[in-house]
Structure 1
Amino acid sequence: MIVRKYWLILALLFMAPLNWAADIDSARLWPAPDNTRLVLDLSGPVEHRVFTLANPSRVVVDIDSARLDADLGALDLNDSGISRIRSGVRNGGDIRIVLDLSARLNPRSFTLRPNEQYGHRLVLDLERPPGLAMEPQERQVSKTVNDLSNQQRNIIVAIDAGHGGEDPGAIGGKGTLEKHVVMAIARELYDQLNAVKGYEPFLVRTGDYYVPLQRRRQIARQKNADLFVSIHADAFTSPQASGASVFALSSNGATSAMARYLADQENASDVIGGINGVSLEDKDEVLRSVLVDLSMTATLRSSLDVGSSILGEMRDVARMHKNTVEQAGFAVLKSPDVPSILVETGFISNPTEEANLGSRAYRRKLATAIRQGVTAWFERNPPPGTWVAWQQRNAGELRRYVVVRGDTLSAIASRNGTSVARLKEVNQLNDADIRIGQVLLIPGA
């Protein structure tokens, strides 16, 4: 009887369900140029630890009292710096996940509470050390003109597609994701500006991955951007809210209840990366405050001006929520020395505007309006040392000529009393090849 009693107790123990703290329901991987992010979706909060092992390089994640329901082997590891992901059960009820690394990566982890799109999450960021970041897919090649004074640089425009990766942004009633819409508009704007002589745009994010708001500003400043354009398509609590908007930074609060709401929504998305102020560590507190204030004042004036130019062009394409540039405390606009604007292309929560933003033709029109607003402003305010500024100074000395059949660069130069070298310099030509219909600028004799 005693033996039978012990067997019964053991059987009950094996039959009793284990009490897991959380299930790991799914996993997502987001490779970016300077990091790779692994996100584990959880059914509840967990305790975890992360450490590294060498020879070979590995990152180990231990999760207490968890059950793995996700298929980690189905993740696409291309360009992630991870060669293989393994997992197993330890201590009877804990999960160990091992990442075999193919690149030098430094781990950083944290957990996130549920939001409107996701439940509990464990986030593992594998960061590439400074100087070892991968080149973005759209590698930017400088188009700078080498004239005799070496001063004809291009105007550099940073195009920032909001959200990305783990952060989808606003979601429309039919499931349209803001991050996909704004990326499409950003790429169209890039293509259009890249085709304009004297302009050199670049994309702040080149794929579907998350970039913290502070990092977006840093990227623009590192590339010496003359303008920062952030593109969004937000949502409101009511589907009746509609209209596009153009925003600049406000140092004294927002100009409307809607502006405050949108700023709060966008800034809240940076909880993953954190928000820090501008670093002026070698200055004392008073001087630092004065320098930032002076720079921000001048930059804000330019931001409002270029925003007005873009808003004027967008009126012909979209219904505007407000007829003036609004101001709000968007963290992404807080660069002290780069004029910055944020374009809300419409409310994805509005059924009509969701359909419009889903249309490629409509997105192209929006990008065209933004491009026209940008170039019109720079034509009035060209940065010193740029080709646009040089063209403005020499506008009275230049004539336009349309190439016809039989023309050669040497013949055109001879007829107009100039040289082939001078024609190539003025028109940014790398060689003497020209095509029928091409417009050339002809300098005076």
Structure 2
Amino acid sequence: MSRKMLIKPFHSIESTATASHNWRRRQVLRAGVSTIALALVAPRLAHASSVLGVRVWPARDYTRVTIESDQPLQNNQQLLQGPDRLVVDLNGIDLDQELRDLVSKITPNDPQIQAVRIGQYQPHVVRMVFDLKGSVKPQVFTLTPIGSYKYRLVFDLYPAVAPDPLMELLAQSERKQEAFDKTNPNPNPPPATLSGPTTAPKPLAQDNSDDFFQKYADSADLPRAPVASIPPIPSPAPRPTVKPAVPLAPPLAKKEDDDDNYAFSAPKSNSKPGTTRLLTVAIDPGHGGEDPGAIGGNGTYEKHIALDIAKKLRAKIDAQPNMRAMMTRDADFFVPLNVRVQKARRVGADLFVSIHADAFTTPDARGSSVFALSDHGASSAAARWLANKENESDSIGGINVRTQDVSVNRALFDMSTTAQIRDSMRYGNFVLNEIGGINKLHKGSVEQAGFAVLKAPDIPSILVETAFISNPDEESRLNDDAYRDKMANAIMKGIKRYFAANPPLAKNRMT
């Protein structure tokens, strides 16, 4: 074998080794270039966020501004004074038409925001300046995608001095008294009760409860029912901090065909002998603001239906001489479930009613329902499904979890008593009996489930599903103003029947 033949394989090995080294070097260089390119492109990708919608929900309680985008938005904010304003920088975004439209969405009647100015502050940084009408306590937080929503950046602007529902209720009672002062010059009319049957109605056949009647110790754009004239009410002597309730009006003339009046006396107040306190009903229109509730096939929003029925019910209650109503929301804005309960307890409500319009997975389900709280599981699979759905309201409407005292809220919701559930069942049966006169009942008895909004431990509470908004026929009925008025009237009758059969005890508290 020649020398060339012996040497050639070694040259081939050396060449192969060199080629392999060069290939690995090229791969390393290529990876390095890719890393550098990715580092340069990544910021541009981060700035590619698009705004999908901007919404504003003004209310006395607070004003909410929501910016929805396809990616999470980073922000910096600063609260300034002289004049009051909130400056917000949105990072990783460019000014587009959706953001520009925010300017036109600030209405003159917004309680918190005077105006908003928006501009491209820096490349990929949009600055928003909210000119405020007064001092606010802002809460800014983000929400991850849920339901039909993508990423949301939320600005909740709370007034520095929060409105007190009890003071508002007192002001309402004072207006009621002023109306009486103008129409009744007699300061001492005899106290009386409402006229009407003194016996409680028979329960539904499905209820089968022998001991049931035993006594025991306003979309803001929907039309509003006219307020009935206020019967004469005597004027009590003023007190510096506590306004005593007024005595009942003279007896109403009873008609043979009028079963709307049921005899019950307002309880005596412990604060002053010879006076009576007004019975307070807390009305809770379900959903609101970012949480539309169920949506019917023709686009009907549950939150608008619930608010209109609630306003009609409020008008009917306020027209009574010995009753008054408080609403957990009176406009289109979101109220967390625990806040609804807290508002009712703050005013010392005697009863609580939450108003909704049901939805199910199929359009065949129909009928009205009444629910009470359960401490041992739901009474049916449908009730459990509905309670879980309604309890998701906080996630859909959006709450700032950093401001929620979880331990306090859990303690509140664990305080529910057997007595509260018992009273709620009695109350619910009266209302269900009346609702059955205007619509088919989905089930002929009060159902039970773990609704968070019903967990006031000291207030009989029910949730009324007025109809299935997912059923085309019932959606059409819910869009009928006359039907909504009948539904409010039926709930009102049930409330009066409950008070007639179960007179509330006197309470030493604000009348």
Amino acid at match of 1:235: A
Give the match for residue 145 of structure 1: 246
Q: As a proportion of its length, which structure holds more strand?
A: 1
1:376 paired with 2:497, answer yes
Give the match for residue 299 of structure 1: 420
- What is the alpha-carbon distance in structure 2 between the residues aligned to residue 80 and residue 108 of structure 1? 16
Q: CA deviation at 1:298?
A: 1.1
Q: CA deviation at 1:339?
A: 0.9
Amino acid at match of 1:202: M
2:49 to 13, 22, 25: 22
Q: What TM-score do you get using the length of structure 2 for normalisation?
A: 0.66
Q: Equivalent residue of 1:67, what SS?
A: coil
- What is the alpha-carbon distance in structure 2 between the residues aligned to residue 280 and residue 249 of structure 1? 17
Q: CA deviation at 1:223?
A: 0.8
Give the match for residue 302 of structure 2: 178
1:74 paired with 2:104, answer yes
1:345 to 466, 471, 475: 466
Q: CA deviation at 1:308?
A: 0.7
1:108 paired with 2:135, answer no
Q: CA, structure 1 residues 194+137, in 2 after alignment: closer, same or farther (shift >3 Å)?
A: closer
Amino acid at match of 1:347: F
Amino acid at match of 2:304: H
Which is higher, the Rg of structure 1 or of structure 2?
2
Contact 1:34/1:133 (CA < 8 Å) preserved in 2? no
Q: CA deviation at 1:133?
A: 6.4
Which runs of 5 or more residues in structure 1 are unaligned? 1-12, 282-287, 387-445
Contact 1:317/1:365 (CA < 8 Å) preserved in 2? yes
Q: CA, structure 1 residues 205+280, in 2 after alignment: closer, same or farther (shift >3 Å)?
A: closer
- What is the alpha-carbon distance in structure 2 between the residues aligned to residue 76 and residue 21 of structure 1? 27
Give the match for residue 118 of structure 2: 87
- What is the alpha-carbon distance in structure 1 between the residues aligned to residue 352 and residue 406 of structure 2? 17
Alignment of 1:288-367 (within 5 A): 293=415, 296-367=417-488
Contact 1:136/1:206 (CA < 8 Å) preserved in 2? no
Q: Equivalent residue of 2:50, what SS?
A: strand
The aligned length equals 364
Which runs of 5 or more residues in structure 2 are unaligned? 1-39, 177-244, 249-271
- What is the alpha-carbon distance in structure 1 between the residues aligned to residue 118 and residue 482 of structure 2? 46
Contact 2:60/2:163 (CA < 8 Å) preserved in 1? no
Q: CA, structure 1 residues 278+250, in 2 after alignment: closer, same or farther (shift >3 Å)?
A: farther
Q: CA, structure 1 residues 367+146, in 2 after alignment: closer, same or farther (shift >3 Å)?
A: closer
Q: CA deviation at 1:196?
A: 2.4
Q: What TM-score do you get using the length of structure 1 for normalisation?
A: 0.75
Give the match for residue 419 of structure 1: none
Contact 1:140/1:202 (CA < 8 Å) preserved in 2? no
- What is the alpha-carbon distance in structure 1 between the residues aligned to residue 405 and residue 286 of structure 2? 18
- What is the alpha-carbon distance in structure 1 between the residues aligned to residue 474 and residue 440 of structure 2? 10
Q: Deviations over 1:209-241 (max 9, x none)?
A: 111111111111111100000000021111112
Q: CA, structure 1 residues 132+193, in 2 after alignment: closer, same or farther (shift >3 Å)?
A: closer
Contact 2:306/2:355 (CA < 8 Å) preserved in 1? yes
Q: Deviations over 1:235-267 (max 9, x none)?
A: 111111211110011112211111111111111
Q: CA deviation at 1:280?
A: 10
Give the match for residue 330 of structure 2: 206
Q: Which moved more, 1:363-372 or 1:37-46?
A: 37-46
- What is the alpha-carbon distance in structure 1 between the residues aligned to residue 103 and residue 173 of structure 2? 37
Q: CA deviation at 1:36?
A: 1.0
- What is the alpha-carbon distance in structure 2 between the residues aligned to residue 54 and residue 97 of structure 1? 16
Q: Equivalent residue of 1:160, what SS?
A: strand
Amino acid at match of 1:62: D
Q: CA deviation at 1:348?
A: 0.6
- What is the alpha-carbon distance in structure 2 between the residues aligned to residue 97 and residue 112 of structure 1? 20
Q: Which moved more, 1:50-59 or 1:121-130?
A: 50-59
Q: Which moved more, 1:231-240 or 1:69-78?
A: 69-78
Give the match for residue 92 of structure 2: 65
Q: Equivalent residue of 2:377, what SS?
A: coil
Q: Equivalent residue of 1:140, what SS?
A: helix
- What is the alpha-carbon distance in structure 2 between the residues aligned to residue 280 and residue 106 of structure 1? 22
Q: CA deviation at 1:187?
A: 1.1
- What is the alpha-carbon distance in structure 2 between the residues aligned to residue 113 and residue 184 of structure 1? 31
Amino acid at match of 1:140: Q
Q: Equivalent residue of 2:458, what SS?
A: coil
Amino acid at match of 1:249: L
- What is the alpha-carbon distance in structure 1 between the residues aligned to residue 111 and residue 457 of structure 2? 33
Contact 1:151/1:385 (CA < 8 Å) preserved in 2? no
Q: CA, structure 1 residues 276+361, in 2 after alignment: closer, same or farther (shift >3 Å)?
A: farther
Contact 2:112/2:159 (CA < 8 Å) preserved in 1? no
